[in-house]
Amino acid sequence: MQVTELNLYPIKSTQAYQVSQAFILPQGLHFDREFMLTETTGKFITARKDSSLYRLTAFPIPLGIVICDEKGEQCIALYRDFTHTQTSEVWGTHFLSWVAPKKVNSWLSQYIGREVQLRWIGEQGLRTVETFAKNPLSFADSNPILLTSECSLKQLNKWSPIAVSMAHFRSNIVINGHTPFEEEQWRRIQIGNVILQFAQHCTRCVLVTRNPHTLELDPNVEPFRTLKQHHTNEQGKPIFGIHLVPQNSGVIRCGDTVKVLEKR
């Protein structure tokens, strides 16, 4: 069983930035979701509402990030220009984050079509994982890392009336797998020298119904509806993938073997 794909999302809810190797920190893959767009109040913005976020791609550079739209227009946000903090919010959790300068926010506001702000988590973010209180967290929804399996996706496509790609699920680590949904039984795994502990199953929302290429929402609410019918947790919520919390730092690479250290 091997890692087949590694994805970073430098800005929350924007295009994936695929890499062949990544450095794992306690808060997840380095550069993953270190930035996000917010309303002027600090409340997070995602592609659940603003589909145009899927047209933006962010590229890490030594001094910050380069943000590109689908037309090739660019905006550079430098770490040094984030000079003040304000309260921000992700799913009801409130914490301080760094606000981008006016020039960057104006470019993004024009693109989105209303006034928004780019936020940076900072060198030492103030968020922590709810179930792992000492573990730092980026702007990810709830946990540092999301892992999905190609084998599980194959099973989902057997159930689903539409073709579903892995891009629908925006995972960090993709593995090939042996049997569908076996990953849901894992409690500790090792990839390279990195130990990853199970946090929870990934419950799914309507965001998975947005086509990552056309940006349209599926009129039949797929594949959310199929997951709801065939694959749910004990509370009846559709699930796909598992959330993981790193227990140490290190490098993981595409092609690395996935070792299961503990199962449920």
Ordered by start, the domain boundaries in the chain are 2-7+141-263, 33-127
pLDDT, position 66:
97
> Can you tell me the mean pLDDT for 231-238?
92
pLDDT band, residue 50 (cuts 50/70/90):
confident
237 has a pLDDT exceeding 90: yes
* Contact (Cβ atoms closer than 8 angstroms) between residue 181 and residue 152: yes
pLDDT band, residue 259 (cuts 50/70/90):
very high
The CATH classification number of 2-7+141-263 equals 2.40.33.20
* Contact (Cβ atoms closer than 8 angstroms) between residue 129 and residue 25: no
Give the residue with greater pLDDT, 173 vs 50.
Answer: 173
Strand partners, 117: 38
The amino acid at residue 120 is W
pLDDT band, residue 133 (cuts 50/70/90):
low
pLDDT band, residue 2 (cuts 50/70/90):
very high
> Can you tell me the mean pLDDT for 19-40?
95
CB neighbour list of residue 26: distance below 8 Å, 6 or more residues apart: 135, 136, 144, 246, 249
Q: How far is CA 45 from CA 12, 42, 51, in A?
A: 8, 9, 10
Q: How many angstroms separate the most distant Cα atoms in the chain?
A: 51
pLDDT band, residue 126 (cuts 50/70/90):
low
> Can you tell me the mean pLDDT for 6-17?
95
The amino acid at residue 119 is R
pLDDT band, residue 264 (cuts 50/70/90):
confident
pLDDT, position 212:
85
pLDDT, position 130:
67
Give the C-alpha separation, 210 to 59, whole Å: 23
pLDDT band, residue 213 (cuts 50/70/90):
confident
pLDDT band, residue 253 (cuts 50/70/90):
very high
Give the C-alpha separation, 60 to 76, whole Å: 10
Give me the count of residues in the chain: 264
Beta-sheet strand order (sheet of 84-90): 35-38, 117-120, 93-99, 84-90
% residues pLDDT > 70 (the chain): 97
CB neighbour list of residue 23: distance below 8 Å, 6 or more residues apart: 29, 30, 249, 250, 251
* Count of beta carbons in the 10 Å neighbourhood of residue 248: 12
125 has a pLDDT exceeding 70: no
pLDDT, position 150:
97
Averaged pLDDT score across all residues of the chain = 93
pLDDT band, residue 1 (cuts 50/70/90):
very high
Residue 194: helix, strand or coil by DSSP? strand
Give the C-alpha separation, 159 to 1, whole Å: 24
Give the residue with greater pLDDT, 134 vs 19.
Answer: 19
pLDDT, position 91:
86
